[in-house]
Amino acid sequence: MVYLRSFTFPNADQEFSFFMGIKRTCYDSYYPFQILSRHELDRLDFDTVTILYG
């Protein structure tokens, strides 16, 4: 069993650098990128029991 204490997300600059390295030919969307960084969510801290669903 794996227990996580926290989970970090990339910031807007890190996501932009990632986009520049992608050579896409069949997709026209980068969803779900830029959703969390736009709202400045950079870290989730988990409690003793955390259930993520969805």
Question: What pLDDT was estimated at residue 25?
Answer: 66
Q: Are residues 39 and 1 in contact, defined by beta-carbon separation less than 8 angstroms? A: no
Would the pLDDT of 44 be above 70?
A: yes
What does the pLDDT look like over 8-28, one tens digit per residue?
A: 888 888 888 887 787 766 666
The model's confidence at residue 1, banded by pLDDT at 50, 70 and 90, is: low
Question: What pLDDT was estimated at residue 18?
Answer: 82
Burial class (CB in 10 A: 0-12, 13-18, 19+), 26: exposed
Question: What pLDDT was estimated at residue 52?
Answer: 72
50/4 Cα distance (integer angstroms): 9
